[in-house]
Structure 1
Amino acid sequence: MAARRMTPLPPLLAVGRRWLLARVAALTLLQAAAAGAAAIATRSLFAALDTAPEDLPATALIVLALSGAVIATVRVAAQLAGERLGQGYALDLREALFDHACAMSASDVAARRSGYVGLRFVGDMTAFRNWARLGLPRLIAGVILIPATCLILAWLSPALLWALLPPVAVALVAIVAGGPMLVPLQRRLRARRGRIAAEMTERMALAPEIDRLGRRSGEMRRLRQRSERMIQAALARLRLAEALKALPDLVAGLCAALLILIGARTGLGTGTIAAALAVLGLLLTPMRELAGVWNHYAAWRAARDKCAAALARPRRGNYGRRGLPPGPVTLSMAGLPLNADSPPLSMTCDAGARCLLSLPEAQISHLFSLLQRLEVPPPETLFLSGIPLEQLSRGALRRNICRIGPDVPMLRGSLRRMLTLAVSSRPDDDRILDVIDRLGLRGVLCPDGDLNRRVSEGGRNLSTEQRAAISLVQAAMARPRLVLVGQDMSAAGPDLCNALGRWLKGASVTVLCAESVAARIGLGEDATTAGPAG
C-alpha cells in the first residue's frame, strides 16, 4: 500500500536564509541610524537658522544630505536581500512539491486536476515568495524602526513622545487586532480565484469542442457567476487590508498637530519641532508597511495550508537496494490483485519466455504500471528473478524494464533527447542512427538523419507510429531484460510491428505482451498465455 508519510514543508529560515534575514535586520538598523542622524541634523540646522542663518553648520548639512542617500541605498540592499530570501524559499518549495509528486503513484497524480497542479507551482509560489521577500523583512523593519523612532522622539523631547504615544498606540493595536481577520478573507479569495484559474486552464484547450457542443454560453455564464463571487471576496479582502493601511494616515494629521501644539506650549524651538515632524514621517512608513505585512501573511497561510495538504498525499514508499542477476528475468505473480471485480493473477513467466496476457486492456495497463513501480503492488505479490519487486532499487527497475508503445512519456526537446531517455549515458549520433537503421525505422523517424528535430511535450507533434517507434529505439539502446508490450501497439502499422518482432526475436529478453497484439508482432507458437486464476 502507498505510504502515508508526509513530506515536511521546507523551513523558511534554513541555514543560508538565516544570514539573509540577519542582513535585512542589520540594514534596517542602519536605516534607523541614518534616520536618527537626519533628525539630529535637522534640529541643529533649524537652531542655527534662528541664531546665525549666515553660518549654518557644514557637518549638519552634509549629514542631512547624505542621510537620504544612505536610507535609499540601504532600502535597495534590503529589498535585494529579501528577494534572494523569497526566491530561495520558493525554489525549495518547488523542489519539495515536484519531488513528492515523483514519489506519488501515477493514478494519484492523474486524479489531481491539472489546473490546480499548475497553481501549486505558480500562484502559491507567489504567496510564499512575497511573504519571505516583503512580509518578513517589513515585519522586522517595523519591529526595529518603530521603537527606534520613538527613542529618537524621546531624545528630542519626552513631552513630544508622550503626546504621540496614545494615537500611535491605538493605531498599532487596531492593526494587530484587525490583521488576523485577513486570514479567512484571503483563504476564501484564493480558493475562488484558484477555482477559476484551474477551470480556465483546463477549458481553454477544449474551447473549440465546447463551442461545437453548444456549451459556449453556458460556460461563459458559469465563468461570470464565479467571477462575481470572486470579485466580492476580493473587495472584502481589499476593504479590510486598505483600512489597516489607512490607519497610520488617519492618525498622521492628529500626531502632527499634537507635536506642534505641545512643542509650542513647552517652549521647544522650531528646530526640535521640525525634527520631530521628520521623525513622525519616518514612523508612519513602517506602520503602513506593518499593516501590509498582514496581507502577505494571510496569503502565505492560505498557500501553506494548500501545499501542506499536497505534501501529505500518500507516496509510493521507498525503493529497495537490490539489483537483478544477469540475463533475462523470471517474472512471477502470486495472487496479484488487478482490480476489485476480477480474481487475482497468479502466473510465472520463465526467463526469456514470451508470455501473452489474456486480460482486459485496463488490467494490462495497471499490471505494467505495477511492474514499473508507477503504482504500489501489495508486498510479496510480484517477483523478478525471485526477488520481491519492493526490494529492487530504482536503478534496477529503470534499466531492466522497458515498455514499448505510443503512450510512453515524452518530454519537450530534441529527437535525440527522446531516443536516449532510457539510457544512462547518451551515445553519439552515429550510434543512434545505426540503431535506427538496424531496426528499419529511418523513414519513420528521421529520413534526413536530423536528430535535432524538436519534439513537443507529450509528443503532440508526432504521429502514433512515430511515438511507438521512439519507444522501440529507446528499448533497443537500453537493452532491458523485461519488455512490456500493451494493447496500444495495436494502432501501429505493419512496418513498425515487423521491426518490433525482428528485434524481439534477436534480443535475449523476457516479453510480457497483450494477447491481441501478439499475432501482429509475430510472437511464435511457443508463447504461453496467462489470465486470472479461476
Structure 2
Amino acid sequence: MTNRLFDASVAPSRVPEADARGPWAYLWWLVRIRPWPLVLAAGLGALWMVPLALVPLVIGRAIDEAGQGSGQAGLYLWSLLALGLGILQALAGAGLIQAAVGAEAHALSVTHRVLMRQVVRLGAGLRGQARSGDVAASAAADVASIGNAFEVLGRTIGAAVAAVLVAVALTATSPLLGLAVLIGVPAAVLGIGPLLRPLQARDEAQREQMGIATSQAGDIVAGLRILRGIGGEAGFAERFRHTSQRVRRAGESAGRMEAWIQAAGVFLPGLVTVGVVWLGARLALSGAITAGELVAFYGASAFLTLPVSTATEAAETLSLAKVAAGRVCTLLRLAPGTVRPARPEPLPTGPLPLADSGLGITAAAGRLTVVTAPADRTGVLAERLSRGGAGGGSPDVRLGGVPLDRTDPDGLSARLLHSGPGDVLFSGTVRQELAAGSAPSAEAVARALFAADAADVVDALPGGLDARLDEGGRALSGGQRQRLILARALLAAPDVLILEDPTSSVDAHTEARIVDRVAALRAGRTTVVLSDSPLWRGAADHVVRLEAQAPSDGPDRSSGVSR
C-alpha cells in the first residue's frame, strides 16, 4: 500500500494513520511511509552537485599540466574529464527535478488525504472545534509549505555531500585552506540559525490572520443575501478591510524576516569566499600552492556559496514546514463527536422504532411522528435523537431497541439520517448533489423531487439536473435550497429519517403539498419531523409535544397524541 500512496486512485481511507504527536513527528512519518522518492532525490542531488564542485579542481589541475609543459595529452585528459563531469551533472539534474517533484507530490497528496479523512470523520462536529478558515488555509497554504520542504531536501543533501567533498579535497592540497573551509562553511550556516525562530513566530502570526480572514470571507459570502437585506454590506466590508490589512502587515513582517535570511545566505558565504581567496592568494605568493591550485581554490570557494545558499533555503523552508505541520497536527488531533464503541451492537433488520425514554418520545416503526418543541431547542433535540457512538449518544435513546451509544457509527449512518437547517448544498451538478455519491434511478430522483416540491426548481435551472450549482447554492433562494436539501434526504431513503424544520422557508401552499407528498413517500418507513407547523401535526400518525426545558440536554417530558 505504501508504494501506491502517490497513486491518485488510492482512497484516503487506505492511507496509514498519521503520526500527529508533533510537527517533526508528522514530517518524519511522511518520510517513513514512502522514503524512496526522497532517497532518490538525495542521491541524484549528490550526483548533480558533486560534479559542480569537482570542476574547479579539474580546471586547476589542467592549468598546472599546461604550465609544466608536459604536453597536450594531459591537458586533453583533464579537459575531457571536465566535459564528462558536465554531462553527468546535466543528466543528474534532469533526474533530480523529477525525483524532487515526486517527493513533493507525495507529501502534498498524502497530507491532502489525511486532512480529507479527518474532516469526514469529524463531520458536523468540525465547525464547533475549528474555524472554516483554518481548514481552508491548511488545505492550501500549509500543504504547499510541507510539499516545498520535501522538494528542497534532495538538493540540500547533495549540497552537504559536495561541501564535504570540497573540504576534503582542499585539505589534501592545503591543510590550512581546508581548515578554513571546514570552519567557515558551518559557521556561515549556523549564523542563519538565530533568524529562524523569529521567522517561525511571524509566519505563525500571518497564518493565524489568514485563517481569520478566510473565515470572515466565507461568512460574508454565505450571508450576503441577508446582509443586503439589513443594509450591513458596508459594515462587514469595512471589517474585512481591517482584517485584510492585518494579514498584509503580518505578511510584510514575515517577508522582512525572509529577506534578512536571504541576505544572510549571500553575505555569510561571501565572507567565507573572500577569506579563502585571500588566504589562497598569500599561499600562492609564498609558493606553498601552485597557480592552478589557486584557481581551484577560488573556484571551489565560489562554489561553496551554492551549498550555503541551498542550506539557507532548506532552513527557511523547513521552518515554514514545521509551522504548517503543526497546524495540520492540530486538526488531526481533534476528536470526533462520536467514536466507535468497544463492542458495538448491530441494529435489527426491518423497520426501526426510535424512542427516547428520558424525554418520553416514541416514534413507532414505519410511522410519521411529529415532535413540537421550543424553537431554541429543536437543534439540540435533533442531535440527541441522531447521535451515536460511545461518548456521543444518550443511553436513553434507542433505535430498534439498541442504545445509540452502543451502535456502530457506520451502521447508524447507513440506517438513520438527520436533515436540518445546517445542511448545505455543495458545488457540482444538481444530479450529483441529489445522488450524494450513490446511483439512483431516474424514477427515484423524480419521486424525491416531486415529494419535496422541487421539480420546478430544477426545471427553472439552465440544464435541469445537469445544471451546475455554486458552493452553498448561493444563486438559489432560501426556499429553493431547502427543497433541494429535502429532496436529497428523501432520495437517500434511510430506514429512519429525522427532519428538522423541513418547510420553514416555504409558503403555506407549498408546505401543504410537501407534507402530503412526504407522508405518502415515506409510508412504511420511520419518519420524525421536528416542527410546530399545524400542517405537519395534521398529517402525523403520532404527535409529541415537549413544553419545558430539561436541565441538561433537551426539552422536558412530553405529552403524546396518537392518530
* TM-score interval (norm. to shorter): 0.7 to 0.9
Deviation of residue 400 (structure 1)? 2.3
**Correspondences of 1:353-364 after superposition (within 5 Å):** 353-364=367-378
Aligned residue number for residue 457 of structure 1: 471
1:329 aligns with 2:352: yes
The reply on whether 1:137 has 2:154 as its aligned counterpart is: yes
For the structure 1 residues 180 and 371, does the alpha-carbon distance in structure 2 shift closer, same or farther, using more than 3 Å as the test?
farther
Q: 1:212 to 1:492 in 2, by over 3 A?
A: closer
SS, match of residue 532 in structure 2: helix
Which shifted more, 118-127 or 354-363?
354-363
Q: Report the alpha carbon displacement of residue 148 of structure 1 after superposing the two structures with TM.
A: 0.9
Counterpart for residue 338 of structure 1: none
Identify which range, 27-36 or 215-224, moves more after superposition: 215-224
CA contact (8 A) 1:420 1:474 kept: yes
1:416 is matched with 431
CA contact (8 A) 2:365 2:526 kept: yes
Mapping of residues 387-406 of structure 1, within 5 Å = 387-404=402-419
Task: Call closer, same or farther: CA 1:117–1:434 in 2, change over 3 Å.
Answer: closer
Task: Give the aligned partner of residue 125 of structure 1.
Answer: 143
Residue 103 of structure 1 is matched in structure 2 by: 121
**1: distance between equivalents of 2:395 and 2:469?**
40
Residues 434-513 of structure 1: pairs in structure 2 closer than 5 A: 436=449, 441-446=454-459, 450-493=464-507, 494-495=509-510, 497-506=512-521, 507-513=523-529
| 2:505 maps to amino acid | A
| 1:67 alignment partner in structure 2 | 85
Q: What letter is aligned with 2:425?
A: M
Instruction: Name the structure 2 match of 1:340.
Output: none
2:425 alignment partner, SS class: coil
Aligned partner of 2:132: which letter? S
Q: 2:283 aligns with which of 254, 262, 265?
A: 262
3-state SS in 2 of match to 1:462: coil
CA change 1:502–1:441 in 2 (3 A) is same
Distance 1:444 1:398 in 2: 28
Shift of 1:533: 3.0
The 5-angstrom pairing of residues 508-519 of structure 1 reads: 508-519=524-535
Separation of aligned partners in 2, 1:463 and 1:521: 26
Report the Cα distance in structure 1 between the residues aligned to 2:466 and 2:239, rounded to whole angstroms: 44
Could you tell me how far 1:305 is from its partner in structure 2? Answer: 2.4
Match of 2:44 in 1: 27
CA distance in 1, matches of 2:254, 2:420: 48
The change in CA–CA distance for 1:316 and 1:262 in structure 2 (over 3 A counts) is same
* Cα distance, 1:204 vs structure 2: 7.8
Kept after mapping to 1: 8 A contact 2:369/2:528: yes
| Distance change >3 Å, CA 128–CA 195, structure 1 → 2 | same
| Secondary structure at 2:111 match in 1 | helix
Shift of the 471–496 alpha-carbon distance from structure 1 to 2, 3 Å rule, reads farther
- Equivalent position amino acid for 2:432 in 1: R
| Cα distance change of structure 1 residues 57 and 292 upon mapping to structure 2, 3 Å threshold | same
- Segments of 5+ residues of structure 1 without an aligned counterpart are 336-344
Give the C-alpha shift of residue 433 in structure 1. 3.5
- On the 8 A contact 2:43/2:158 being kept in 1, the answer is no
Q: Deviations 1:456-496 (Å, cap 9, x if unpaired)? A: 22222233333333344334433322222222512224335
Q: Find the aligned partners of 1:10 and 1:290 in 2 and give their Cα distance.
A: 18
Checking the alignment, whether the CA contact within 8 Å between 1:115 and 1:198 is kept in structure 2 is yes
- CA shift at 1:402, angstroms? 3.2
Bigger mean CA deviation after superposition, 138-147 or 117-126: 138-147
Aligned mates of 2:50, 2:56 — CA distance in 1:
10
The answer on whether the counterparts of 1:146 and 1:283 sit within 8 Å (CA) in structure 2 is yes
Give the 5 Å matches for 1:246-257: 246-257=267-278
SS, match of residue 318 in structure 1:
coil
1:151 has 2:168 as partner: yes
1:368 aligns with 2:391: no
Alignment partner of 1:426 out of 433, 436, 439? 439
Amino acid at match of 2:109: L
Higher relative contact order (CA 8 A, sep 6+): 1
Please give the per-residue CA displacement for 1:62-96, whole angstroms capped at 9, x wherever unaligned. Answer: 22123223223323422332222122123222222
Change (3 A) 1:401 1:264: same
Task: Tell me how many residue pairs correspond in the alignment.
Answer: 515
Mapped to 1, the partners of 2:233 and 2:455 lie a distance apart of 39
| 1:224 positional shift | 4.1
Separation in structure 2 between the aligned mates of residue 437 and residue 90 of structure 1, nearest angstrom: 43
Say which of 393, 396, 400 aligns to 1:385.
Answer: 400
Which range moved further: 471-480 or 293-302?
471-480
Partner-residue secondary structure (3-state), 1:527: strand
Residue of structure 2 equivalent to 1:94: 112
Aligned to 1:78: 96
For residue 176 of structure 1, what is the amino acid of its counterpart? L
For 1:312, the aligned partner's letter is R
What is the rounded CA distance, in whole Å, between the counterparts of 1:49 and 1:262 in structure 2?
21
Measured in 2, the distance between the counterparts of 1:215 and 1:500 equals 38
The 1:229–1:258 alpha-carbon spacing in structure 2 relative to 1, beyond 3 Å, is same
- Give, in whole Å, the separation in 2 of the partners of 1:514 and 1:431: 25
Q: Which range is displaced more, 51-60 or 234-243? A: 51-60
For residues 164 and 514 of structure 2, the distance between their equivalents in structure 1, rounded to whole angstroms, comes to: 79
Distance in 1 (CA, whole Å) between partners of 2:241 and 2:178 is 54
- In the alignment, what sits opposite 1:289? 310
Deviates more, 1:37-46 or 1:299-308: 37-46
Deviation at 1:357, TM superposition (A): 2.0
After TM superposition, list the pairs within 5 Å mapping 1:213-224 onto structure 2. Answer: 213=234, 220=241, 223-224=244-245
SS for the counterpart of 2:545 is strand
2:439 is paired with a residue of what secondary structure?
coil
Distance of 1:366 and 1:533 partners within structure 2:
12
Conservation of the 8 A alpha-carbon contact between 1:7 and 1:100: no
Are residue 529 (structure 1) and residue 552 (structure 2) matched?
no
What's the TM-score once normalised by structure 1's chain length?
0.84
Residues 396 and 430 of structure 1: CA distance in aligned 2, closer, same or farther (over 3 Å): same
- Rounded to whole Å, the distance in 1 between the matches of 2:489 and 2:79 is 78
Name the SS of the counterpart of 1:508 in structure 2.
coil
Within the alignment, does 1:169 sit opposite 2:183 as a pair? yes
| Counterpart residue type for residue 508 of structure 1 | G
C-alpha RMSD over aligned residues:
3.5
Matched, 1:198 2:212: yes
Does the residue aligned with 2:498 lie in a helix, a strand or coil? Answer: strand
1:280-321 CA-partner distances (Å, limit 9, x unpaired): 233331122112322122212222222222222222243355
Where do residues 231-246 of structure 1 align in structure 2 (5 Å cutoff)? 231-246=252-267
